[in-house]
Structure formats: C-alpha cells, structure tokens
Amino acid sequence: MFSSETVKLATETLRMARDRGYHLATAESCTGGLIMAALTEIAGSSDVVDRGFITYTNRAKMEILNVDGQIIKSHGAVSAECAGAMARGALKASAATFALSVTGIAGPGGSSPDKPVGLVHMACAGRDGSLIEEKHLFGEIGRTKVRQATVVAALKLFQKRLKQTAPKSGIS
C-alpha cells in the first residue's frame, strides 16, 4: 500500500514517539488521512497514535478544529496560518502530545499564481506551546505524487519535532 520509504519513516516515527512516551494526532486536508493510514499500517501503532482528523473543507476546519474563519478569509485554507491553527486545534481536540497538520493544493486544479499546484503547508504543535511550520513546493508532479510526497515530508516533520524533545520523566 505504501512505499518502503514511507513504511520505514512511519515505523521510525512510531518508535521515536514510543521511546519518548508521546502520543500523536494528525489534522489532514490534502492528504485525506494518508498520514494516519501510514502510521496505523504499522502493527502496534495504537500505543502511540491517538487520533486523526480529516478536515477537507473550510467548514470542517472551523467546526472540528476550531480554526478561526478570519484566518481562512485573510490567508486562505492553504497557508502557514491555517496549518498552524489546524495543528493547535487537533492538539486541543485530542489527548496527543504532538499534532501535525497538512493543507495544500494537490491538483490538478485549485491553484492560483501565488498558490501553485504542489504547494503544501504543514505544522506540528506541541503541548509545550511549540509550533514548527514548513512550506513545501512539490511542483506539478501529479495529484498522487503530491500527496505521497506530503506524507513523507509530514513524517519527517514529526521526527524532527520528536528529536527536539527529551523523553518524559520516568521513561527510559
């Protein structure tokens, strides 16, 4: 179902979170749940994965993740601001230690001169108040490949955040 690279990244992400005693959540738009699917493809993931939110529409982002409609109006659903709000909203709506969000334009349509096909914003929010944001320009490589590249980049962002975090007290 997933490439060997994705399986390896998902396995390593789960191991890192498990070793540190942390739980993960996702808020996905353009990937439609593929990040969570990659994580839960790995047996034993239930000790790390808390939940995932698929918020494809602006309405879902506002209702489920409590994204302020003004953020979407001012910056658009595909923006760093929206990705940050999605990650924070997923964190608040879950028992996770870290929540990762992705929002982008997989194509083939839906683009504009300032927001081309292949643009993806992602963010990882932590209970400690931290927020890491990334912008990716994957280009017009096709809808499937944009989504696959987003999953890989998202798992790498989870790992980047986990590497910055010491294990919880009492966890070895």
| Residues 86, 98, 148: CA angle, nearest 5 degrees | 65
For residues 162, 85, 42, 107, the Cα torsion angle rounded to the nearest 10 degrees is -120
Distance between CA 112 and CA 110 in Å, rounded?
A: 7
CA angle 54, 57, 61 (to 5 degrees): 65
pLDDT tens, N- to C-terminus, the chain (172 residues): 899 999 999 999 999 999 999 999 999 999 999 999 999 999 999 999 999 999 999 999 999 999 999 999 999 999 999 999 999 999 999 999 999 999 999 999 999 999 999 999 999 999 999 999 999 999 999 999 999 999 999 999 999 999 998 776 554 4
The domain limits of the chain are 4-144
Fold observed for domain 4-144: Maf protein (3.90.950)
Return the bridge partners of 9, or none: none
Helices (H), 45-166: 58-65, 69-75, 80-92, 143-163
Angle at 127 between CA 126 and CA 131, to 5 degrees: 30
> pTM for the whole thing?
0.95
Q: In the beta sheet, which residues pair with residue 53?
A: 27
Going by the DSSP 8-state scheme, the letter that residue 42 receives in this structure is S
